[in-house]
Amino acid sequence: MNKKGIIAVVVIIILVILGFTMWGGSNETSVNNPGGTDSETLPEITKEELAPTTKDTTNQSLLGRLKSASVSATESGNRVTLVNGTAKFSEGEVKGTITLGDIVVQKDIEGTIYDLAPMSVSTTGSGNFQYVVLFEEKGSAISDKSYALIGDRVKITGIRADVVSGANGKPQMVVTVSYLGHDQGEALSSAPSVPMTKILIVTDGTFSTLL
Protein backbone atom coordinates (compact mmCIF):
# COMPACT_ATOMS: atom_id res chain seq x y z
CA MET A 1 0.00 0.00 0.00
CA ASN A 2 1.39 3.39 -0.95
CA LYS A 3 1.04 6.60 1.08
CA LYS A 4 -2.31 7.44 -0.60
CA GLY A 5 -3.56 4.00 0.35
CA ILE A 6 -2.48 4.50 3.97
CA ILE A 7 -4.22 7.89 4.05
CA ALA A 8 -7.39 6.24 2.73
CA VAL A 9 -7.25 3.66 5.54
CA VAL A 10 -6.80 6.39 8.13
CA VAL A 11 -9.67 8.46 6.70
CA ILE A 12 -11.97 5.43 6.84
CA ILE A 13 -11.03 4.81 10.49
CA ILE A 14 -11.69 8.45 11.37
CA LEU A 15 -15.04 8.49 9.54
CA VAL A 16 -16.18 5.33 11.29
CA ILE A 17 -15.23 6.77 14.69
CA LEU A 18 -17.10 9.99 13.88
CA GLY A 19 -20.08 7.96 12.77
CA PHE A 20 -20.24 6.13 16.08
CA THR A 21 -19.94 9.39 17.97
CA MET A 22 -22.62 11.22 15.99
CA TRP A 23 -25.19 8.47 15.62
CA GLY A 24 -24.94 6.64 18.89
CA GLY A 25 -22.75 3.71 17.96
CA SER A 26 -25.24 0.97 17.14
CA ASN A 27 -23.54 -2.42 17.32
CA GLU A 28 -25.24 -3.86 14.24
CA THR A 29 -25.76 -2.57 10.71
CA SER A 30 -28.38 -3.97 8.34
CA VAL A 31 -27.97 -3.62 4.58
CA ASN A 32 -30.94 -4.17 2.29
CA ASN A 33 -30.32 -6.53 -0.61
CA PRO A 34 -31.53 -4.87 -3.84
CA GLY A 35 -34.17 -7.03 -5.46
CA GLY A 36 -34.92 -8.94 -2.29
CA THR A 37 -36.85 -8.53 0.90
CA ASP A 38 -34.24 -9.82 3.35
CA SER A 39 -31.57 -7.72 4.98
CA GLU A 40 -28.01 -8.79 5.70
CA THR A 41 -26.52 -8.09 9.11
CA LEU A 42 -22.87 -7.04 8.96
CA PRO A 43 -20.35 -8.25 11.56
CA GLU A 44 -20.67 -6.49 14.89
CA ILE A 45 -18.27 -3.58 15.45
CA THR A 46 -18.06 -1.89 18.82
CA LYS A 47 -16.88 1.53 19.84
CA GLU A 48 -14.22 -0.10 21.98
CA GLU A 49 -12.61 -1.74 18.93
CA LEU A 50 -12.26 1.62 17.18
CA ALA A 51 -11.41 3.86 20.11
CA PRO A 52 -7.82 4.88 20.94
CA THR A 53 -6.17 3.54 24.06
CA THR A 54 -6.35 6.03 26.94
CA LYS A 55 -5.04 6.05 30.49
CA ASP A 56 -8.30 4.39 31.58
CA THR A 57 -7.87 1.44 29.18
CA THR A 58 -4.09 1.02 29.38
CA ASN A 59 -2.45 -2.28 30.32
CA GLN A 60 -1.00 -1.27 33.68
CA SER A 61 1.29 -4.31 33.89
CA LEU A 62 2.95 -3.42 30.59
CA LEU A 63 3.16 0.23 31.56
CA GLY A 64 4.92 -0.77 34.76
CA ARG A 65 7.61 -2.58 32.76
CA LEU A 66 8.27 0.48 30.61
CA LYS A 67 8.71 2.64 33.72
CA SER A 68 12.18 1.16 34.22
CA ALA A 69 13.35 1.42 30.60
CA SER A 70 16.46 3.24 29.38
CA VAL A 71 15.63 6.26 27.20
CA SER A 72 17.42 9.02 25.33
CA ALA A 73 17.41 12.29 27.24
CA THR A 74 18.95 14.62 24.65
CA GLU A 75 19.62 14.76 20.92
CA SER A 76 23.29 14.11 21.60
CA GLY A 77 22.42 10.64 22.83
CA ASN A 78 22.71 11.22 26.58
CA ARG A 79 20.78 8.33 28.15
CA VAL A 80 19.07 7.82 31.49
CA THR A 81 17.25 4.94 33.13
CA LEU A 82 13.73 5.60 34.32
CA VAL A 83 12.91 4.90 37.94
CA ASN A 84 9.16 4.47 38.42
CA GLY A 85 8.65 6.27 35.13
CA THR A 86 10.82 9.34 35.69
CA ALA A 87 14.47 10.46 35.53
CA LYS A 88 16.49 13.65 35.73
CA PHE A 89 19.22 14.55 33.25
CA SER A 90 21.91 17.18 32.87
CA GLU A 91 23.97 18.16 29.85
CA GLY A 92 26.07 21.30 30.10
CA GLU A 93 23.83 24.06 31.36
CA VAL A 94 20.67 22.21 30.38
CA LYS A 95 18.90 20.30 33.14
CA GLY A 96 15.57 18.63 32.96
CA THR A 97 13.17 15.83 33.85
CA ILE A 98 11.81 12.99 31.75
CA THR A 99 8.44 11.47 32.64
CA LEU A 100 6.77 8.50 30.99
CA GLY A 101 3.07 9.03 30.29
CA ASP A 102 0.14 6.92 31.47
CA ILE A 103 -0.76 5.29 28.13
CA VAL A 104 0.75 2.30 26.37
CA VAL A 105 -0.23 0.44 23.18
CA GLN A 106 1.31 -2.85 22.07
CA LYS A 107 1.41 -4.30 18.53
CA ASP A 108 2.91 -7.46 17.05
CA ILE A 109 4.35 -7.03 13.54
CA GLU A 110 5.51 -10.32 12.10
CA GLY A 111 6.72 -11.52 15.48
CA THR A 112 8.32 -8.24 16.55
CA ILE A 113 6.63 -6.72 19.60
CA TYR A 114 6.39 -2.93 19.66
CA ASP A 115 5.15 -0.71 22.50
CA LEU A 116 4.06 2.90 22.08
CA ALA A 117 3.94 5.33 24.99
CA PRO A 118 3.95 9.12 25.52
CA MET A 119 6.90 10.79 27.21
CA SER A 120 7.42 14.37 28.36
CA VAL A 121 10.73 16.23 28.52
CA SER A 122 10.78 19.39 30.62
CA THR A 123 13.84 21.61 31.03
CA THR A 124 14.83 24.59 33.14
CA GLY A 125 13.08 26.78 30.57
CA SER A 126 9.33 26.98 30.06
CA GLY A 127 9.12 24.19 27.48
CA ASN A 128 7.46 20.86 28.17
CA PHE A 129 7.86 18.74 25.06
CA GLN A 130 5.59 15.77 24.49
CA TYR A 131 6.81 12.76 22.48
CA VAL A 132 5.54 9.34 21.52
CA VAL A 133 8.25 6.72 21.98
CA LEU A 134 8.46 3.46 20.06
CA PHE A 135 9.89 0.63 22.14
CA GLU A 136 10.84 -2.85 20.90
CA GLU A 137 10.68 -5.95 23.07
CA LYS A 138 13.17 -8.80 22.71
CA GLY A 139 12.62 -11.38 25.40
CA SER A 140 12.80 -9.55 28.71
CA ALA A 141 14.72 -6.60 27.21
CA ILE A 142 12.99 -3.38 26.13
CA SER A 143 14.82 -0.85 23.92
CA ASP A 144 13.74 2.52 22.57
CA LYS A 145 13.77 2.61 18.77
CA SER A 146 12.32 5.94 17.66
CA TYR A 147 10.86 9.23 18.95
CA ALA A 148 8.14 11.44 17.46
CA LEU A 149 7.64 14.99 18.73
CA ILE A 150 3.95 15.80 19.19
CA GLY A 151 4.27 19.35 20.50
CA ASP A 152 5.26 21.78 23.22
CA ARG A 153 2.95 22.05 26.23
CA VAL A 154 0.29 19.79 24.73
CA LYS A 155 -1.52 16.89 26.45
CA ILE A 156 -1.64 13.46 24.81
CA THR A 157 -5.01 11.84 25.53
CA GLY A 158 -5.00 8.69 23.40
CA ILE A 159 -2.95 6.50 21.05
CA ARG A 160 -4.25 4.06 18.44
CA ALA A 161 -2.13 1.72 16.29
CA ASP A 162 -3.20 -0.19 13.15
CA VAL A 163 -1.07 -2.53 11.05
CA VAL A 164 -1.46 -2.12 7.26
CA SER A 165 0.37 -3.36 4.17
CA GLY A 166 3.03 -1.00 2.77
CA ALA A 167 3.84 -0.28 -0.87
CA ASN A 168 6.44 -3.07 -0.91
CA GLY A 169 4.06 -5.54 0.70
CA LYS A 170 5.73 -5.26 4.09
CA PRO A 171 3.54 -4.38 7.08
CA GLN A 172 3.59 -0.83 8.41
CA MET A 173 2.03 0.60 11.53
CA VAL A 174 -0.24 3.65 11.34
CA VAL A 175 -0.21 5.45 14.70
CA THR A 176 -2.95 7.97 15.48
CA VAL A 177 -2.16 10.30 18.39
CA SER A 178 -5.01 12.27 19.96
CA TYR A 179 -4.00 15.29 22.00
CA LEU A 180 -5.08 18.68 23.28
CA GLY A 181 -3.24 21.70 21.89
CA HIS A 182 -3.64 25.44 21.45
CA ASP A 183 -5.37 27.64 18.90
CA GLN A 184 -3.17 29.64 16.57
CA GLY A 185 -1.95 32.69 18.44
CA GLU A 186 -3.04 31.34 21.82
CA ALA A 187 -0.48 31.63 24.60
CA LEU A 188 1.27 28.33 25.30
CA SER A 189 1.11 29.17 28.99
CA SER A 190 -2.65 28.53 28.92
CA ALA A 191 -3.98 25.01 29.45
CA PRO A 192 -4.28 23.08 26.17
CA SER A 193 -7.94 22.52 25.25
CA VAL A 194 -8.19 22.19 21.46
CA PRO A 195 -8.61 18.55 20.26
CA MET A 196 -5.97 17.68 17.65
CA THR A 197 -4.65 14.60 15.88
CA LYS A 198 -1.24 13.63 14.53
CA ILE A 199 -0.75 10.56 12.33
CA LEU A 200 2.58 8.76 12.23
CA ILE A 201 3.89 5.85 10.18
CA VAL A 202 6.23 3.22 11.61
CA THR A 203 8.38 1.42 9.06
CA ASP A 204 11.20 -0.92 10.10
CA GLY A 205 11.08 0.41 13.65
CA THR A 206 11.26 4.11 12.74
CA PHE A 207 8.70 6.93 12.87
CA SER A 208 7.82 9.20 9.99
CA THR A 209 5.09 11.87 10.09
CA LEU A 210 2.15 11.46 7.71
CA LEU A 211 -0.25 14.20 8.86
Residue 6 pLDDT level (bands cut at 50, 70, 90): low
> What's this model's pTM, rounded to 2 decimal places?
0.77
pLDDT digits (tens, 9 = 90+) for 40-59: 454 454 545 568 999 999 99
Alpha-carbon span 142 to 65, nearest angstrom:
9
Q: What is the pLDDT of residue 123?
A: 85
pLDDT digits (tens, 9 = 90+) for 120-134: 999 877 789 999 999
Q: What is the pLDDT of residue 155?
A: 96
Alpha-carbon span 207 to 211, nearest angstrom:
12
CA dihedral sign, ordered 178, 154, 198, 162: negative
Residue 166, judged by CB atoms within 10 A of its CB (0-12, 13-18, 19+), counts as middle
- Candidates 106, 108, 86; CA nearest to 96 is 86
Residue 211 pLDDT level (bands cut at 50, 70, 90): low
Mean pLDDT of 166-172: 84
pLDDT digits (tens, 9 = 90+) for 53-107: 999 999 999 999 999 999 998 777 789 999 999 999 988 888 899 999 999 999 9
Residue 16 pLDDT level (bands cut at 50, 70, 90): very low
Mean residue pLDDT of the chain comes to 81
For the chain, domain boundaries: 3-26+46-209
Does the pLDDT of residue 177 top 60, yes or no?
yes
What is the β-pairing status of strands 39-41 and 194-203?
A: unpaired
Percent of the chain with pLDDT over 70: 74
Q: What is the pLDDT of residue 95?
A: 87
